[in-house]
Amino acid sequence: MKIECVRVQNYRTLEDIEIEFSGYYTAISGRNNAGKTTLIKVLRETFKDHLRDRFSFVRDEERTYREDKTQWVSGSPDIVFDYVLAINKESDPGLFQFIEKFLQKSIPLSTLSLRIKLSQNSKDEVVCACEVDGSPVGDFASKEILQKLMSSNLAFVHDSAARDQSIFFGRGRFLHDLIFSPSERKQLQEEQKRLQNKVKNISRAHKSELSELLGHLEDKYEVDFTIPDGMFTGTLPFAINLKDRNVDVPLDDWGSGTKNRTHIMMSILQAHRIRSKDDQNRITPFVMIEEPESFLHPSAQAEFGRVLRTLANDLQIQTIVTTHSPYMLCQENVASNVLLVRRAHRGKLKATERVLLDEQKWMEPFSEILGLDNAEFSAWKDVLGSTRTCMLLVEGDLDKRYLQHIHSLGHASLRLPDDLDIVAYEGKDALKNTIMLKFIVEKFKRVFVTFDLDAKPELEKMMQQIGLKDGTDYLAIGANKPGKQCIEGLVPDRILAAVHAQHTDLVMQLTAQDAKERKSAKSSLKQKILSAFETETQISAEELKGFVPLFKGLTARMSAVK
């Protein structure tokens, strides 16, 4: 099952808002009190997490019109939750066939669209209306479909900020459920029979003592101890231990970040097992996580964000997160990010609104979280959109072409590491934004930064401010000679001489008084030098020795453990 869209009216700060969920991963961001948790609560009102409710003392408060209706809206309009769901015949047969039963007809499509609209009036009366593929269904069928949804375990919910609290008092253990396939249940039932006999043998003393106590009662009872039937029918509560260097430690004794990530990963695993098991009653659940970045260092947030997005798409498990971290946002698909804001009216915050994002406004969720201007992201769009984990940042596209051509020549000491993405950041000034640069460095598993040697005096201090080391994390490239403090300065002299001889007019233009003419001549010469370089297929390693420190440092950085 996948939530396609939800529209909410007159509920708390959600006066009238519609949220579409694109793909399998959605990141909901916004400032505190923007409405993120309220939106999650709307989903939790209908889609339940019964597995956790079984072991938790916490229950959601019942929705009431008086307390939950949007305060500034006059009159008594209904509170409305309007969901649109995609139900797949293969992954959600339990619900797909249930709907077919009430429609009394077979649905030929592999996926149907189910719309459920819940309206709650001022008397707290709730009316449910359903549509299947745009066609309304009767009241009775609507109520039965709603009951089927609400009684099923369709949402695994994590409030990461509260995840460090045990569900029991004192040093209780956080429990999860293992979900078994039919063949696994059969094996466990066979083991249960053997365990049942073992329990009878070792519990004789307990039986005698309990019989003696019960003997004081007027009614007489015989005592026996058994494992409850059905204990292994579908799920089994369990606690988790993690091992580190052969030290076995209960998960509750690990750091909050490790615990939180483990609990979240277990829910994704459970959802995947439900989706994959051979059971005609199954309905694929989805995962909702509030602040998955909680308790994690930025580098760990970046890694976890990549993992969550990858798992959601690979396993086809819808994952919805609320976040204050840029690392949890989706860089690959702008439609997967939902930015919520609350506009002020006469000094008071009012209704939650969704900021409409498109290819021109893709950066707004990042800007909101990082506190940067939208324009500061323009140079980094290609970097943020990369799906690789290892990144080489170069000043421009020309630098990228130089390195790719050198790699193609096949010299052993001048080869690019595998699975490396080379991305241009459009000029040295982009590196002066240390907030943005640090975000980029933390986002990827390994990053190596290059810039022209003539920019080193103004950039080196900024590199050091964010913890980057010369030669290890970044390198200024060029020859330490006048006019050669750039990547072109490492090109063999014979190629430079040939280009300069063929284009003396451009060389002379470099000394023009007009700055635009000088800049134009410099740009043209750079292009011609690169073109001449790319036509050479027999350049020796000796002629390219100036590039060796760059390739050596890059290889060392990409192979280092982060």
The two structure tokens encoding residue 288: 């909702």
**pLDDT band, residue 23 (cuts 50/70/90):** very high
Q: Rounded to two decimals, what is the model's pTM?
A: 0.76
Q: How many residues does the chain have?
A: 562
Q: In the predicted model, is pLDDT for residue 243 greater than 80?
A: no
The two structure tokens encoding residue 475: 């390198």
Instruction: Pick from 27-41, 45-59, 231-245 the range whose average pLDDT is largest.
Output: 27-41
**pLDDT band, residue 41 (cuts 50/70/90):** very high
Model pLDDT, residue 216: 53
Q: Give the torsion sign (CA, 453, 459, 463, 464).
A: positive
The owner of tokens 């994002």 is 357
Q: 297-317, pLDDT tens digit by residue?
A: 888 888 888 889 988 999 999
Task: Report, as an integer, the average pLDDT of 250-269.
Answer: 70
Q: 473-518, pLDDT tens digit by residue?
A: 999 999 999 989 999 999 999 999 999 999 999 999 999 999 999 9
In whole angstroms, give the CA distance from residue 449 to residue 399: 12
Task: Report, as an integer, the average pLDDT of 400-423.
Answer: 94
Question: What number of other Cβ atoms are within 10 A of residue 264's Cβ?
Answer: 23
Q: What is the mean pLDDT of the chain?
A: 85
Q: In the predicted model, is pLDDT for residue 245 greater than 70?
A: no
Q: In the predicted model, is pLDDT for residue 228 greater than 80?
A: no
Model pLDDT, residue 85: 97
Q: In the predicted model, is pLDDT for residue 225 greater than 60?
A: no
The owner of tokens 């043209």 is 524
Model pLDDT, residue 123: 95
Helix (H, G, I), strand (E, B) or coil at 414: coil
Model pLDDT, residue 168: 40
Model pLDDT, residue 187: 77
Task: Report, as an integer, the average pLDDT of 246-261.
Answer: 58
Model pLDDT, residue 561: 56
Q: 54 or 269: which carries more pLDDT confidence?
A: 269
Model pLDDT, residue 209: 58
- CA within 13 Å, CB half, 186: 3
Instruction: Give 99's strand partners.
Output: none
Q: In the predicted model, is pLDDT for residue 246 greater than 80?
A: no
Nearest C-alpha neighbor of 550 from the set 475, 494, 498: 475
Task: Report, as an integer, the average pLDDT of 386-398.
Answer: 89
Q: In the predicted model, is pLDDT for residue 406 greater than 80?
A: yes
In whole angstroms, give the CA distance from residue 230 to residue 211: 26
Catalogue the long-range contacts made by 112-115 (C-beta closer than 8 Å, 24 or more residues apart).
112/86, 112/87, 113/4, 113/84, 113/85, 113/86, 113/87, 114/84, 114/85, 114/86, 114/87, 114/145, 115/82, 115/83, 115/84, 115/85
Q: In the predicted model, is pLDDT for residue 237 greater than 60?
A: no
Q: 344 or 81: which carries more pLDDT confidence?
A: 81
Model pLDDT, residue 163: 46
Q: 194-217, pLDDT tens digit by residue?
A: 777 776 776 666 566 556 555 555
Model pLDDT, residue 265: 82
In whole angstroms, give the CA distance from residue 514 to residue 518: 6
Lowest mean pLDDT among 59-73, 185-199, 478-492, 546-560: 185-199
Model pLDDT, residue 110: 94
In whole angstroms, give the CA distance from residue 380 to residue 480: 29
> Is the separation of the CB atoms in 383 and 425 below 8 Å?
yes
Output Rg (C-alpha) for the chain, integer angstroms.
31
In whole angstroms, give the CA distance from residue 129 to residue 141: 9
In whole angstroms, give the CA distance from residue 108 to residue 123: 41
List domains and CATH numbers for the chain: 2-162+279-355 (3.40.50.300), 176-276 (no CATH), 374-492+539-559 (3.40.1360)
The secondary structure of residue 417, as a DSSP letter, is P
Q: In the predicted model, is pLDDT for residue 95 greater than 70?
A: yes
> Is the separation of the CB atoms in 180 and 188 below 8 Å?
yes
**pLDDT band, residue 169 (cuts 50/70/90):** very low
DSSP per position, 114-157: EEEEEEE-TT--EEEEEEETTEE--HHHHHHHHHHHHHSB-EEE
Model pLDDT, residue 361: 84
Q: 446-474, pLDDT tens digit by residue?
A: 999 999 999 999 999 999 999 999 999 99
